Chain A
Amino acid sequence: AQSVTQLGSHVSVSEGALVLLRCNYSSSVPPYLFWYVQYPNQGLQLLLKYTTGATLVKGINGFEAEFKKSETSFHLTKPSAHMSDAAEYFCAVSPGGSFGNEKLTFGTGTRLTIIP
């Protein structure tokens, strides 16, 4: 079984400040980890993913995340927040690596507000 916990349902940061969105996961098999962003009235857009290899992954729009197995974490960061980053962010896990295991389990989401 897999699960994802996102700490903080709402996060507010000032424009230009560091963005840090927290995600911890539980998985009985090596996980694939994802961050998705959702803008109002839209679907989910993939920001970045970790499958294997380098634990620091870079995504679109200046976001990056680091896979820390010892801490079972996959926190999302961005050095400098922009007004356009305001959205809801979802962390997700899947038991990837083999066919038939593509089900994504999502966290409850973090709504990011950018203060001008």
Chain B
Amino acid sequence: KAGVTQTPRYLIKTRGQQVTLSCSPISGHRSVSWYQQTPGQGLQFLFEYFSETQRNKGNFPGRFSGRQFSNSRSEMNVSTLELGDSALYLCASSSYARAPPLGEQYFGPGTRLTVT
């Protein structure tokens, strides 16, 4: 199976702009989670989508939003970019083919966002 793919891999934006990141989960996986990784704050949970519904949300401002499509692909949007939004954004997918779910998440390579 192909792994989790994220596009683009690298992105440079200017303060005040908005950005959309894309994630395609492993085939058959219905849950997609997003994480932000920075040197100062480490890995922080942004949100999780399952069957097009946001189920969990981390402690991030409303400028961060996401959505999931019927094919489980997900997008994450950040509006009014700030310098502090520079980070590696990681997407992870999970399968719920069995119950209870094992909780393991498979990560993509990430999108490196630089805000100048």
The residues of A with any CB-CB pair to B shorter than 8 Å are: 32, 34, 36, 41-46, 49, 51, 90, 94, 96-109
Kindly supply a per-residue 1/0 record for chain B positions 86-99, scoring 1 wherever the CB is within 8 Å of any chain A CB and 0 otherwise: 00001010101001
User: Is the beta-carbon distance between B101 and A102 smaller than 8 angstroms?
Assistant: yes
User: Is the beta-carbon distance between B56 and A108 smaller than 8 angstroms?
Assistant: no
What are 14 residue pairs bridging A and B, where the CB atoms are less than 8 Å apart in the complex? A32-B103, A43-B110, A44-B92, A44-B107, A49-B103, A49-B104, A51-B102, A90-B43, A98-B100, A99-B96, A99-B101, A100-B56, A102-B103, A104-B45
Q: Report chain B residues within 8 Å CB of A101.
A: 103
User: Is the beta-carbon distance between A43 and B108 smaller than 8 angstroms?
Assistant: yes
User: Is the beta-carbon distance between B100 and A97 smaller than 8 angstroms?
Assistant: yes
The residues of B with any CB-CB pair to A shorter than 8 Å are: 4, 31, 33, 35, 42-43, 45, 48, 50, 55-56, 58, 90, 92, 94, 96, 99-110
Q: Report chain A residues within 8 Å CB of B108.
A: 43
Q: Report chain A residues within 8 Å CB of B35.
A: 104
Cα–Cα distance between A106 and B107 once the two chains are bound (Å): 14
Q: Report chain B residues within 8 Å CB of A90.
A: 43
Write the chain A residue with the least CB distance to B56.
A103
Given contacts A42-B109, A43-B109, A44-B107, contact A49 B102 (CB under 8 A): yes
Q: Closest Cβ of chain A: how far from B82's Cβ, in Å?
A: 23
A34: which of B33, B50, B104 is its contact (CB, 8 Å)? B104
User: Is the beta-carbon distance between A102 and B48 smaller than 8 angstroms?
Assistant: yes
Cα–Cα distance between A99 and B45 once the two chains are bound (Å): 17
Q: Report chain A residues within 8 Å CB of B104.
A: 34, 46, 49
